[in-house]
Amino acid sequence: MRFSIYIVMLFGLSVVGQTNPSKQFSYNEFLGFVKKYHPMVKSANLNIDAAQANLMKARGGFDPKIEVDFDQKKFKDTEYYSILNSSFKIPTWYGIELKAGFEDTSGAYLNPQNTLPNQGLTAVGINFSLGQGLFINQRMADLRKAKLQVNLSQAEQKLQAVAVLYEASVAYFNWKKNYNEVVLYDVYAKNAQIRFTGIQSLIREGDKRAIDSTEAGIIVKNRLLSLEDSKLKLNKARLELSNFLWLENNIPFELAEELIPEENLEQTIQETLRTNDLLNGDFSITNHPKINALQSKVDILTVDKKLKANMILPKVDLGYSYLSQPSYFDEYQFQDYKIGLNVAFPLFLRKERGDLKIAKFKVQDAQLDLDLEKVQLKNKINAQQIEIQSLVKQKDIITNLVKDYNTMLTSEERLFSFGESSIFLINSRENNLVSSQLSRINIENRYFISNAELFKIMANPE
């Protein structure tokens, strides 16, 4: 009879959670949903669109312009004056503006300076700056910064996408962790119930004391309590994971209870996150999104500094236009022209010099952030590589420890079948085995999260 109970107990301990591969929701498939449909990832793409729209706006500062100014006055059938002034202007890069115009005037009381030939007067000329605005002006600065802003937005989009994928990965790993704990507690709850039934049979036959039934019943209740608590954690983890699951048209959906996490995730995670390339070789931070973002900020501030430095120069604007009647435009007359000169220069330049100093301080501060980030990034990569390597060793150790505890439990059950052990010792051995298996699940979870952290540091969501 004792031998039969021993067989029953072994059968109970051999019960394992069988998974249906068709119901597995793989980690790679989960990340595919997040990348394609998550609102935060879409929002990051909108930032790029906004930066490109801003670039279009800045380029508009160099668009050709047509201007028409018409002014006329009539009173009591008398035309006092009629003045038409039209122009076509083409802004260019280095503070130079090309222009062409046509003027036509008439009237009984026309101002003498507006008197023109009957056919009107055409003009072709150029406006340019010799001081402020020659090498850089507000229009040029806006365009340069808009181009840099596109690069900055692309880098920030990658960083934001990586942050979302990291948080989603942690939610997936916690879901898997809690699922494995539920499977584990379910197995040992069933084992405890089988053992409890076997003990009751032995008590009825007079082979065991009645108190053994109470102790076996306590074990069943503890196992059921742990199982119920792990189910609660699993349901919360499933709902947390659902926060990252969306469909087209921003439709959220909840993860079905029959779906289970990927069983062999340990074998595929590094390939999915591409962390195996970094662990097997060197990683260059030259094109890292964080470095690119900080470098773009430095470049934007440098453009501002150049613009502030240009404001210290005197303002000297010069304009020249060749004048001619439309019918004589091909006959160039050097004596027919219009010229203008505008000069301005503050005496103390306190505002301009103050703005330049502030701009220099901002560039220096941004450069310090960039230099610091380069060092921190390298150290973070090295630290994460060391952590992953350590967790690999810990996994091997805990796996062997689980085997040893399982051997100890099997041996104790054999002794119990011969009447040389007790339920208390079996429970103690089983508790050690359960604790070691929970530790293995936790170490596995840390290993997954550590790879996700390395993925986050690499910041390459493609």
Residues 90 and 179 in one domain: no
Domain of residue 256, CATH code: 1.20.1600.10
Under the banding of pLDDT at 50, 70 and 90, the label for residue 447 is very high
- The pLDDT mean for the chain works out to 84
Which one has a higher pLDDT value, 4 or 404?
A: 404
Tell whether 293 and 387 lie within a shared domain.
yes
**Does the pLDDT of residue 22 top 60, yes or no?**
no
Judged by average pLDDT, the poorest of 206-215, 359-368, 392-401 is: 206-215
Task: Give the pLDDT confidence score for residue 14 in this predicted structure.
Answer: 36
Query: Does residue 16 carry a pLDDT above 70?
Result: no
* CA–CA gap between residue 278 and residue 407 (Å, rounded): 38
One domain for residues 201 and 229: yes
Alpha carbon distance 98, 197 (integer Å): 99
Residue 398 CB partners (closer than 8 Å, separation 6+): 436, 439, 440, 443
Average the pLDDT over 20-45 and give the result.
Answer: 80
Query: Residue 331: what pLDDT?
Result: 64
Residue 359: per-residue pLDDT = 92
Q: When comparing pLDDT for 90 and 444, which is higher?
A: 444
The most confident of 20-29, 79-88, 109-118, 207-216, by mean pLDDT: 79-88
What per-residue confidence (pLDDT) applies to 369? Answer: 93
What average pLDDT does this structure show over 400-413? 90
Cβ proximity of 104 and 74 under 8 Å: no
Tell me which of 54-58, 88-92, 189-193 is least confident. 54-58
**pLDDT for res 17:** 41
pLDDT at 18 over 50: no
460 vs 220, higher pLDDT = 220
pLDDT of 3 > 70? The answer is no
Question: Which 8-state DSSP code applies to residue 336?
Answer: -
Q: Are residues 330 and 401 in the same domain?
A: no
Quick one: average pLDDT of 382-398?
A: 93
Task: Specify if 312 maps to a domain.
Answer: no
Listed as own residue / partner, the contacts of 436-441 with beta carbons closer than 8 Å and 24 or more positions apart are 436/398, 436/401, 436/402, 436/405, 437/184, 437/402, 438/181, 438/184, 439/398, 439/401, 440/395, 440/398, 440/399, 440/402, 441/177, 441/180, 441/181, 441/184
Among the ranges given (11-15, 267-271, 344-348, 406-410), the one the predictor scored with the smallest mean pLDDT = 11-15
One domain, residues 129 and 144: no
Residues 239 and 255 in one domain: yes
Residue 300's pLDDT is what? 93
- Whether 281 and 190 share a structural domain: yes
Domain assignment of residue 308, yes or no: no
Residue 32 pLDDT grade (very low, low, confident, very high; cuts 50, 70, 90): confident
Examine residue 7 and state whether it is found in any structural domain, yes or no.
yes
Would you say residue 1 has pLDDT above 50? no
49 with 88, same domain: the answer is no
pLDDT at 5: 34
- Are 13 and 77 contained in the same domain? no
Least confident of 102-106, 324-328, 344-348, 407-411: 324-328
Q: Are residues 250 and 192 in the same domain?
A: yes
310 lies in a domain?
no
Would you say residue 81 has pLDDT above 50?
yes
Instruction: With cut-offs at 50, 70 and 90, classify the pLDDT of residue 41.
Output: confident
pLDDT digits (tens, 9 = 90+) for 57-74: 777 777 889 999 999 888
Beta bridge partners of 97: 91, 127
**Residue 409 corresponds to which tokens in the numbers above?**
């439990």
Continuous H helices in 311-349: none
Is pLDDT of 363 > 90?
A: yes
Q: Considering the domain boundaries, does residue 35 fall inside one?
A: yes
Helices 2-13 and 138-204, packing angle to 10 deg: 170
Does residue 311 lie in a domain region? no
How many domains, in total, are found in the chain?
A: 2
Helices assigned H by DSSP within 14-113: 27-37, 39-59
Q: Are residues 78 and 10 in the same domain?
A: no
Q: What is the pLDDT of residue 90?
A: 87
What is the secondary structure of 443-459 as a DSSP string? HHHHHHHHHHHHHHHHT
pLDDT score of 119 more than 90: no
**How sure is the predictor about 20, in pLDDT bands with cuts at 50, 70 and 90?**
low
What's the pLDDT tens digit per position in 238-277?
999 999 988 887 888 888 888 999 999 988 898 888 887 7
Q: DSSP per residue over 158-192, as a string?
A: HHHHHHHHHHHHHHHHHHHHHHHHHHHHHHHHHHH
Place of tokens 């090295």: 382
| Confidence band, pLDDT 50/70/90 cuts, at residue 54 | confident
Sign of torsion over alpha carbons 264, 256, 189, 429: positive
Q: Is residue 309 part of a domain?
A: no
Q: Do 228 and 296 have their domain in common?
A: yes
Handedness of CA 215, 216, 221, 222 (dihedral sign): positive
pLDDT surpassing 90 at residue 402 = yes
pTM: 0.80
72: domain range?
Answer: 64-135+317-347
pLDDT in tens, 377-387: 989 988 998 99
CA 258, 227, 451, 241 torsion-angle sign: positive
